[in-house]
Homo-oligomer: A and B are copies of this chain.
Amino acid sequence: MKRISSVSEDTEFTFNPLIVLELAKKTQNETIEWLTQRIKERKHLGGAHLKIKPLDAHTKNSQIFLIGASWRRLLVGAEALGLVKEYQDGSMRAFIYQNKEDYKYFSDNNDDFLTMAEQQYIIKRELENLRAINETMVPGYPQAKLYPGKSIIRRLQTSGLLLQIYPLHNKTELKKLGTIWYKRLQVALQPLNDIENYFGQNIALYFAFLEYFTIALFPMALIGVPYYFFAWEDYDKYIVFATFNLLWSTIVLEVWKRWCAKLSYQWGTLLMKRQFEEPRPGFHGKLGLNPVTGRKEPTYPTYKRQLRIYLISVPFVCLSLYISLFVMMIYFQMEALALAYSKEDQSFFSSILLYCPSIIYGVVIEIMNRLYKYAAEWLTSWENHRLESSYQNHLILKVLVFNFINCFASLFYIAFILQDMKLLRQSLAALLITSQILNQFVESVLPYWLQKRRNRILKKKFHISSLEKELPLVDQVKLEREMDKYLGTFDDYLELFQQFGFVSLFSCVYPLAAILAVLNNITEVYTDGLKMCCVFQRPFFEPVSDIGVWLLAFETMGIISVMTNCALIGMSPQVKRLFQRNDVELVLLVLAIEHVLLALKFILAFAISDVPSDIRTKVARMEFESLKALKQKQMKEADESMAKEEQLDETKREQEEKKKI
């Protein structure tokens, strides 16, 4: 843990800067003073009780501030957020300040107990929870209205006064992490715990999923290679492959849930109570009362949102799907042209030309995906969802539907309408490879190269020789200020989702898909790691215990893949030969198999417990103990007050009897 002691300026305490707050240039002094005051104020006076210092004390009107807190304040914050820590007996428990000595790794002079990422998260949440008391506006900005209970930071953000708020990197730790993560070529698993330590559970879970998924692809890849080389034209064999595929996709997702539960138990998020969800920053509406909290907050009528969704968003999605299908039909025309040309002119050039339409279509698909995503983000934001989770769900649904149709419609068309297995294989290969190359380029190589260029400029600006070295704090802050914001794991999961589709929907016709996916994912680990560490600002820690709605998306894809694979089996020449005369019987048989497999899938999903039994026992023990403790306390109080009341009754009765006498 880095500590920058600023003893010269302030002998009272050591100040450990954790996050950076950048205000707009024009911000008035009055506002800054008020904000500083509110941040420093003690909790019971309505403040956040944090430490704040201008980055550069010498220049007046500084707009960049560093925020930190005493280690005791951070511990209290950890309790407030319900962070879960390892207890002395090895179990995981919600941290309680008064029992701090009972937690493993805790010692009075050691602030490694909370990781830097956790400390930054605590400060961020405390800042967000800093609420207006009786201010009606931000001092100096009458148009930035406040009302009791309104988050001050959110208002500053929406009124453009707060430009950005980001946690600081820790160069030493980052270098250590990089060395064991992506800087060496090695056959080893990723240092997931270190990633979790530095970036938080959200990002660590993505990398865990990426790693898990890649390893899960190994058997598919291993079986795929001999298929590819020895049975190139022998479509018949893919019955075995398709069946394997089916079982594989089901079991992989079930086992992932268990692995995910294990990780999130270990990282403390499985036991973390869900925090009450605040309205998302962009949410606006008439000021009203929240029926749950009773607090003042903006309200927006549901019917208006529904109108926006059904009258604008749904038609927009349908139109986009239509355009996507239209582009697909153009692709098939191009394909036909290319085929006709190559039949006429059988040169080397024409055989390459044969692949061109697929590659062009692949590029167009990627472009359309990206354009659509911007539109979907804008639309979903315009729908004005109250909660971030609801916003995310609507966004993911929009994007997934489009992505699915956009990426796979042509394959479905080739497989089931044209029934051309050769074209299907060729098209699948072209789409898969194109999308992987494009993704690698756009997501990692491009930002890395842009960053390199920017770093060169920055180096000149700050007169430094290397960015890897420990820099003076002022330079570090200014450097990280220029970096891009990491926009979350959405794109990364989406990429895996597409890949899962390519691998499971039709992979029996192109068994190399799995091995291509494995190779892509191995490089993806390195490029994503590099991206996280060097290209972006450090992201804030997000405590999550699973991959959320993505799991549902993957499971849906699994169900669809059962159907496509069954259909492929039914269409295979070998099977068709068996039922030469009676097509109806064949279709009914395939149908029966499909239903049995789907039923099996549901039974498997139901029978395999989502949480391993040892974790379940641990969680149950924890809950049992805390419940018992609570109950005992309650019961003792109730018993005592009952005894007291009974005694009172007794005395009263005695007095009455005395009176009678």
Interface residues, chain A, with chain B CB atoms under 8 Å away: 43-44, 70, 72-73, 75-76, 79-80, 96-98, 273, 276, 291-294, 563, 583-584, 587-588, 591, 595, 617, 620-621, 624, 627, 631, 634-635, 637-639, 641-642, 645-646
User: Across the interface, do B635 and A80 meet the contact criterion of CB distance under 8 Å?
Assistant: yes
User: Across the interface, do B79 and A638 meet the contact criterion of CB distance under 8 Å?
Assistant: yes
A638 contact from B76, B292, B637, B646, Cβ within 8 A: B76
Cα(A76)–Cα(B75), bound, Å: 36
- Nearest neighbor of A637 in chain B, beta-carbon distance: B98
Cα(A434)–Cα(B79), bound, Å: 65
CB neighbours of A80 from chain B (8 A): 631, 634-635, 638
A76 contact from B273, B293, B587, B639, Cβ within 8 A: B639
User: Across the interface, do A563 and B72 meet the contact criterion of CB distance under 8 Å?
Assistant: no
Question: Nearest chain B CB to A422's CB is how many angstroms away?
Answer: 23
**12 further interface pairs, Cβ-Cβ under 8 Å (given A75-B642, A96-B638, A587-B591):** A72-B642, A73-B642, A76-B638, A80-B634, A80-B635, A97-B637, A97-B641, A98-B637, A276-B624, A563-B595, A583-B583, A587-B587
CB neighbours of A98 from chain B (8 A): 637-638, 641
Q: Which 8 A-B pairs have the closest CB atoms?
A: A97-B638, A292-B620, A583-B584, A76-B638, A292-B621, A587-B587, A72-B642, A291-B617
Cα(A292)–Cα(B43), bound, Å: 38
Determine how many copies of this chain the complex contains: 2
CB neighbours of A646 from chain B (8 A): 70, 72
- Nearest neighbor of A634 in chain B, beta-carbon distance: B79
A584 contact from B75, B293, B587, B624, Cβ within 8 A: B587
Cα(A601)–Cα(B72), bound, Å: 54
Question: Nearest chain B CB to A289's CB is how many angstroms away?
Answer: 11
Cα(A587)–Cα(B570), bound, Å: 14
Cα(A44)–Cα(B639), bound, Å: 9
A642 contact from B76, B583, B635, Cβ within 8 A: B76
Cα(A588)–Cα(B294), bound, Å: 55
A635 contact from B79, B276, B624, Cβ within 8 A: B79
Cα(A272)–Cα(B595), bound, Å: 39
Name 26 interchain pairs, CB-CB below 8 A, sorted by A. Answer: A43-B635, A72-B645, A72-B646, A73-B642, A75-B642, A76-B638, A76-B639, A76-B642, A79-B638, A80-B631, A80-B634, A80-B635, A97-B641, A97-B642, A276-B624, A291-B621, A292-B617, A292-B624, A293-B621, A293-B624, A294-B621, A563-B595, A583-B583, A584-B584, A584-B587, A587-B587
Question: Nearest chain B CB to A556's CB is how many angstroms away?
Answer: 9
- Nearest neighbor of A76 in chain B, beta-carbon distance: B638
CB neighbours of A73 from chain B (8 A): 642
CB neighbours of A621 from chain B (8 A): 291-294
Question: Nearest chain B CB to A648's CB is how many angstroms away?
Answer: 11
Cα(A621)–Cα(B295), bound, Å: 11
CB neighbours of A588 from chain B (8 A): 587
CB neighbours of A637 from chain B (8 A): 97-98
Question: Nearest chain B CB to A305's CB is how many angstroms away?
Answer: 14
CB neighbours of A72 from chain B (8 A): 642, 645-646
Cα(A307)–Cα(B584), bound, Å: 42
- Nearest neighbor of A645 in chain B, beta-carbon distance: B72
A627 contact from B276, B584, B631, B635, Cβ within 8 A: B276
Cα(A276)–Cα(B626), bound, Å: 12
CB neighbours of A76 from chain B (8 A): 635, 638-639, 642
User: Across the interface, do A43 and B79 meet the contact criterion of CB distance under 8 Å?
Assistant: no
- Nearest neighbor of A621 in chain B, beta-carbon distance: B292
Cα(A638)–Cα(B291), bound, Å: 29
CB neighbours of A96 from chain B (8 A): 634, 638
Cα(A533)–Cα(B638), bound, Å: 36
CB neighbours of A641 from chain B (8 A): 97-98
CB neighbours of A294 from chain B (8 A): 621
Cα(A637)–Cα(B43), bound, Å: 12
CB neighbours of A591 from chain B (8 A): 587, 591
Cα(A631)–Cα(B495), bound, Å: 40
CB neighbours of A75 from chain B (8 A): 642
- Nearest neighbor of A636 in chain B, beta-carbon distance: B44
Question: Nearest chain B CB to A554's CB is how many angstroms away?
Answer: 16
CB neighbours of A273 from chain B (8 A): 627
Question: Nearest chain B CB to A453's CB is how many angstroms away?
Answer: 47
Cα(A79)–Cα(B70), bound, Å: 41
CB neighbours of A583 from chain B (8 A): 583-584
Question: Nearest chain B CB to A86's CB is how many angstroms away?
Answer: 19
Cα(A90)–Cα(B21), bound, Å: 45
In the complex with contacts A79-B634, A292-B624, A587-B591, A43-B97 CB distance below 8 A: no
Question: Nearest chain B CB to A153's CB is how many angstroms away?
Answer: 20
Cα(A76)–Cα(B635), bound, Å: 7
CB neighbours of A44 from chain B (8 A): 639
Cα(A646)–Cα(B42), bound, Å: 13
Cα(A292)–Cα(B621), bound, Å: 4
- Nearest neighbor of A97 in chain B, beta-carbon distance: B638
User: Across the interface, do B43 and A639 meet the contact criterion of CB distance under 8 Å?
Assistant: yes
Cα(A273)–Cα(B79), bound, Å: 24
- Nearest neighbor of A613 in chain B, beta-carbon distance: B302
- Nearest neighbor of A641 in chain B, beta-carbon distance: B98
- Nearest neighbor of A627 in chain B, beta-carbon distance: B276
CB neighbours of A587 from chain B (8 A): 584, 587-588, 591
Cα(A638)–Cα(B83), bound, Å: 14
CB neighbours of A617 from chain B (8 A): 291-292
Cα(A76)–Cα(B638), bound, Å: 6
CB neighbours of A79 from chain B (8 A): 634-635, 638
Cα(A636)–Cα(B435), bound, Å: 55
Cα(A1)–Cα(B428), bound, Å: 76
Cα(A621)–Cα(B289), bound, Å: 13
- Nearest neighbor of A616 in chain B, beta-carbon distance: B292
Q: Which of A43, A273, A563, A645 has the most CB of B within 10 A?
A: A43
Cα(A98)–Cα(B641), bound, Å: 7
- Nearest neighbor of A70 in chain B, beta-carbon distance: B646
- Nearest neighbor of A108 in chain B, beta-carbon distance: B645
